[in-house]
C-alpha cells in the first residue's frame, strides 16, 4: 500500500488546532471589548448633547421672557428640570452695555452660561 504524502490539503482537512481557536477567540474578545467601550462612550455623548440642547432651549426661553419684561436685578427659578439663575449688570468700557447673564444648572452642576449684551 502506497504511503500518502502529507500535503497542505490533507493537513488542513483535519480542522483547526486548539491554539488557533484560542487566538481567534482572544482577537474576537478584544474587538468586542473595544466595540462595547465605543457604544458606552457614544451613549454618554448622546445624553450630554441632549442635556445641553435642552439647557440651551430653557436659557433662550428665559432670556426672551426677561427681555420682554425689561428685567433688572437677580432671580432664580426652576424650569424644565433645570435651575435657572439670571442677573443683570452694566459692562463698562469703550462701548457701555447692559448684560443679562443666565446660568442653567442641572443636578450634576452648571450646564450652560448665556450672556446677552444690549448697547446703551
Mean residue pLDDT of the chain comes to: 87
Q: Summarize pLDDT for 37-73 with one digit per residue, the tens.
A: 999 999 999 998 999 999 999 999 999 999 888 888 8
96 - beta bridge partners? none
Whether pTM exceeds 0.75: no
Query: Does 9 score more than 70 pLDDT?
Result: no
Residues 6+ apart with CB under 8 A from 46: none
Asked if residues 62 and 79 have their Cβ atoms less than 8 Å apart, the reply is yes
Res 110: pLDDT:
87
* % of the chain beyond a pLDDT of 90: 52
Q: Where are the domains of the chain?
A: 16-119
Amino acid at each position: 500500500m502506497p504511503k500518502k504524502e502529507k500535503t497542505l490539503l490533507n493537513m488542513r482537512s483535519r480542522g483547526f488546532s486548539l491554539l488557533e481557536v484560542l487566538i481567534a477567540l482572544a482577537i474576537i474578545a478584544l474587538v468586542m471589548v473595544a466595540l462595547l467601550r465605543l457604544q458606552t462612550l457614544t451613549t454618554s455623548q448622546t445624553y450630554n448633547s441632549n442635556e445641553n440642547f435642552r439647557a440651551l432651549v430653557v436659557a433662550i426661553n428665559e432670556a426672551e421672557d426677561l427681555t420682554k419684561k425689561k428685567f433688572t436685578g437677580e432671580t432664580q427659578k426652576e424650569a424644565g428640570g433645570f435651575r435657572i439663575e439670571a442677573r443683570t449688570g452694566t459692562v463698562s468700557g469703550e462701548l457701555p452695555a447692559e448684560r443679562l447673564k443666565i446660568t442653567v444648572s442641572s443636578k450634576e452642576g452648571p450646564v450652560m452660561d448665556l450672556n446677552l449684551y444690549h448697547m446703551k
